[in-house]
Structure 1
Amino acid sequence: MRKVWKPDRNSTQPLYQQIADDLEQRISYGEFPPGSLLPSERKLAEQLGVNRSTVVLAYSELRALGIIESRSGSGTRVSSSKWGATPKHTPNWHRYAEGGNFLPNLPFLRRIREALAYDPSLIDFASGELAGDLAPNEEMNTILSQKPDTPYLGYDNPQGYGPLRQALVTYLKQYRGIHTTESSILITSGSQQSLYLITQCLLSPGDAVAIEDPSYCYSLPMFQSAGLRLFRLPVDERGVQPEDIRSLYKKHRIKMIFINPNFQNPTGTVLAEERRAQLLDVASELGLPIVEDDPFSLTAYQCSPPAPLKSVDSVGSVLYIGSLSKIAASGLRVGWMVAPNSVVERLADARQQMDFGLSVVPQSLAGQFLSSSYFAPHLDKLRASLLYKRDLLMESLRKELNGLVQFHVPEGGLHLWCKIMPEVNDSKLLEASIQKGVIFAPGSVYGSASGYVRFTYARARAEDIPSGISRFAQALHATIQ
């Protein structure tokens, strides 16, 4: 009798892919002949001890290869044409997908995406974006309903739509204290595209770079795909220690520094004023460029937004990245980079090879919104809403998990970074939480040791936050028993 096979939860290969590979092997060995009925998704999920959504993905993979076929009312069967007397060969797309140089997302991130796709009712503390009711929907609709600023709908300047870059010159001066020109601005589809262009065009495989620890950058496989060597700068409650950069340079000859100094993702910390000056001095002394990602500054709740490094960069060390994703709408897919013109031209040329430039329609809307009288009131409303949600989340954690979690109170941003006091396994806690109807981002996604959690409070509805933390508490108690 065949021993019941179980997927390996410690493997880096996704569970659904392990199941698909096992079934493909069993079919090829004749255990399931052509035309034979396979177990239902629910039954196979019970046998293997996984969620039904995982089996759904495994079956989808096999259908894409032509190995199985599903018909309404008759279940899922092994394909007769694939394995019959006259076989028809479908490319093994799985092998192609496993190849190539660009790595897939981390397993935890794929699991989070899979769970949210299968069950949209999950209370979502994982997605790092604004809820729909925090976006300026009415303001955008009003702008669209007014006399339209209809742009030319052909390929545009590879640096980005001119009127948007003009609007950004004013916006950056007024809101971020950055003095720049249109020729020094590159429009991108968001911060991640900016980072991708930098890693692909300004660095080479084998180059060493410094990133914060923990860091959002650690969750981006694009760094590994580019062949970069990552070295960590520990983050405490006052940000990174600039002298650590000097040490990394001596040991590893780092070539670039990636930093998120204001309401850092995931910790929510702000780089201390004296450390900012030291950081710029060290970078200037060593001739190192700093990539400053600044998506959260304008969410500062009850204080003036912290100034970016770029605003006091007197020697041109800083490449500055911003976007509308965290302060307006991620769906616009509008971001920007401020850099020397030679760098902008190099990256614009590369981006043009990828997509011939971004759509001018959202760029036009973004430019009009930034220049409108709606922008400042929207920021005030956004800050008040985020502050309310942050306080609601902290109150719920103190009520449900007093003594079991520690956290630094963020003064801006979208995230609360928590340390779970008892020893806990990230994977078990995530799965237990999903079963309870809530989802979060494990700290190990950002390079931390097991036992840290990032709760994003911008996505969940305010009325769901207490219930979500109550469910998380149940999952935590069940995991540590």
Structure 2
Amino acid sequence: MFPYKTSIQFDRKCNQALYLQLSNQIIQLIKNQTLVSSTKLPGSRTLAEQLNVHRKTIVACYEELLLQGWVESIPKKGTFVHRNLPVLNQRKLKNCVAFDMKKNAGFSFYRNTVLPKIPLKNKNDFMYLNDGISDVRLKPIDEIARTYLRISAKKNVFEHLSYGSTFGNDTLREVLVAYLNATRGLHITKENILITRGSQMGIWLSSQLLLQKKDIIVVGNTNYQSADATFLNQQANLKRVLVDEYGLVTKEIENICKRQQIKAVYVTSHHHHPTTVTLCAERRIHLLNLAKQYNFAIIEDDYDYDFNYNHAPILPLASHDTNGNVIYIGSICKTVAPVFRIGYLIASKEFVDEASKLRGFVDRQGDALLELTFADFIKSGDLDRHIRKVMKIYKQRRDLFCKLLKDELGDFFQFEIPKGGMAVWVKLDSNYSWKTISEIAKKHKLEIGNWQRYDNAKLGHNHIRIGFAAYNDEEIYELINRFKKIMDEIKKQ
């Protein structure tokens, strides 16, 4: 009798073959030293009868164990647990289930204290504030799916299934060159564009190539947290300048340049993140002139170019750059849905060439079929049609959100109606704190999130950024209602 028969369990509904189920369980018995080295295993007929399986299952199991080196077969004697197996030293786990994940690593590694933790959302009836994302329920999924299937069904699709260029799919690059030249006033060729997995990859690649320890990069005194973290991760020295109603104060940048050599300026010129203000024309020209004079790069993150409600989009700095100082970064993720990780980095050929080499070591290439899909999606006019559709919806949501915020909560919050984008820069009355609101909000099933990220410079401005585009009218009313309950509770304290 096999003494460990009771520990062997078969799941006959499982897709895994019985012989593999058995071999894995015997391996586990060997690992935990229930079966020690040189232990003889029962003959195939005997074990088959004991476990009520076909003898071929046992034969196949023993062959698998032999191939993996867990057992050895000795002629005329039988099958034995391999005599030379060392004892596996394992941590004693209490009350653990098989295959349970261990919490702590068995080795040391370097922890990053700069990069922020990406929050996970729970699936419950909480509402979550965001800082300006699109409503994925409006995504043109049917059009994208049909295009993807049509491209996948082409006879020559195999050409796109192997390794491709680290620059991204050629067709998408060509389509984007034509589209961006026409819509953003650029003057680029295919050699100037690298397809990325979204804006963040473009920021990361730029920081890797521009910044080393103690190099200076200029950012706003309020700035996009992920960009700050990316630059700090390079151990760069962040010099912060004032942001007012006209954007970055470029006179402060000039003063820094007169004293120190800077490597780059990071700017969200169209709608500054997080304040939503637009960099005025005078400062745009001044910044470009400074870049030429002092030989620094301008990282222009144009994350929401398409969303303007009061006027036509303002052309990016990159459209006026004739000296090769601007690295222009954008994406389709914000416009359509974050799941479609397609963005672009535009710069001089020599910078793009170097960025493509670096990209190849962290992400060998993009999704060629998805990139071909979006090439068709843009070329057919579907992207522009989608933008026109959601623009009307987001404008209505902006107007409703701002009206309710002013009418219902104007005693607590101050803000300017944004001219574009998908978020409002909201200032809380100085008698109150976002920390208190965040704590009480949980009782009313509202998650404020990491409100501190909007004040990396520790200015104490008491603002946060609240997105409106991802909420429909009913949800906007509910969001304002929960805020009212929170503020009523705070007033009573």
**Considering the TM-score relative to the shorter chain, is it more than 0.5?**
yes
Aligned counterparts of 1:406 and 1:313: Cα–Cα separation in 2: 37
Which residue of structure 2 lines up, in the alignment, with residue 124 of structure 1? Answer: 128
Aligned counterparts of 1:154 and 1:92: Cα–Cα separation in 2: 38
Secondary structure of 1:267's counterpart equals: coil
Map residues 68-467 of structure 1 onto 2, 5 A cutoff: 69=95, 92-93=104-105, 96=108, 99-101=110-112, 103-105=114-116, 110=118, 113-114=119-120, 117-126=121-130, 128-146=132-150, 148=152, 150=157, 152-217=160-225, 220-441=228-449, 443-447=451-455, 449=460, 451-467=462-478
- Matched residue type, 2:472: R
Q: CA deviation at 1:390?
A: 0.8
Q: CA deviation at 1:132?
A: 1.5
- Matched residue type, 1:261: S
Distance 1:158 1:400, change over 3 A: same
Q: CA deviation at 1:259?
A: 0.2
User: Alpha-carbon deviations, 1:364-384, whole Å to 9, x = none?
Assistant: 112111111212211111111
Aligned counterparts of 2:405 and 2:412: Cα–Cα separation in 1: 9
Aligned counterparts of 1:476 and 1:252: Cα–Cα separation in 2: 47
- Matched residue type, 2:484: A
Secondary structure of 1:118's counterpart equals: coil
- Matched residue type, 1:458: A
Aligned counterparts of 1:220 and 1:95: Cα–Cα separation in 2: 30
Mean alpha-carbon deviation: is it higher for 212-221 or for 459-468? 212-221
Q: Is the 8 A contact 1:125 1:460 kept in 2?
A: no
- Matched residue type, 2:462: G
Aligned counterparts of 2:413 and 2:270: Cα–Cα separation in 1: 23
Aligned counterparts of 1:418 and 1:286: Cα–Cα separation in 2: 36
Q: CA deviation at 1:237?
A: 1.3
User: Alpha-carbon deviations, 1:238-278, whole Å to 9, x = none?
Assistant: 11111111122234432100000112221111111121111
Over the aligned positions, Cα root-mean-square deviation in angstroms equals 2.6
Secondary structure of 1:351's counterpart equals: helix
Aligned counterparts of 1:94 and 1:401: Cα–Cα separation in 2: 52
Q: CA deviation at 1:472?
A: 2.0
Distance 1:164 1:436, change over 3 A: same
Distance 1:371 1:333, change over 3 A: same
Q: Is the 8 A contact 1:208 1:256 kept in 2?
A: yes
Aligned counterparts of 1:403 and 1:356: Cα–Cα separation in 2: 53
Q: Is the 8 A contact 1:443 1:449 kept in 2?
A: no
Which structure is larger by alpha-carbon Rg, 1 or 2? Answer: 2
Distance 1:302 1:353, change over 3 A: same
Aligned counterparts of 2:392 and 2:106: Cα–Cα separation in 1: 47
Distance 1:232 1:400, change over 3 A: same
Mean alpha-carbon deviation: is it higher for 213-222 or for 233-242? 213-222
Aligned counterparts of 1:273 and 1:412: Cα–Cα separation in 2: 17
Aligned counterparts of 2:197 and 2:93: Cα–Cα separation in 1: 38
Aligned counterparts of 1:203 and 1:406: Cα–Cα separation in 2: 38
Secondary structure of 1:232's counterpart equals: strand
Distance 1:188 1:478, change over 3 A: same
Q: CA deviation at 1:159?
A: 0.7
- Matched residue type, 1:140: I
Distance 1:184 1:476, change over 3 A: same
Aligned counterparts of 1:477 and 1:452: Cα–Cα separation in 2: 20
Distance 1:66 1:209, change over 3 A: farther
Aligned residues: 394
- Matched residue type, 1:315: N
Secondary structure of 2:439's counterpart equals: helix
Q: CA deviation at 1:397?
A: 0.6
- Matched residue type, 1:453: I
User: Alpha-carbon deviations, 1:6-27, whole Å to 9, x = none?
Assistant: xxxxxxxxxxxxxxxxxxxxxx
Segments of structure 2 that go 5 or more residues without pairing to the other structure are 1-90
Q: CA deviation at 1:279?
A: 1.4
Secondary structure of 1:423's counterpart equals: coil
Identity of aligned residues (%): 26
Q: Is the 8 A contact 2:216 2:261 kept in 1?
A: yes
Aligned counterparts of 1:472 and 1:217: Cα–Cα separation in 2: 25
TM-score normalised by length of structure 2: 0.74
Secondary structure of 1:331's counterpart equals: coil
Q: CA deviation at 1:138?
A: 2.7
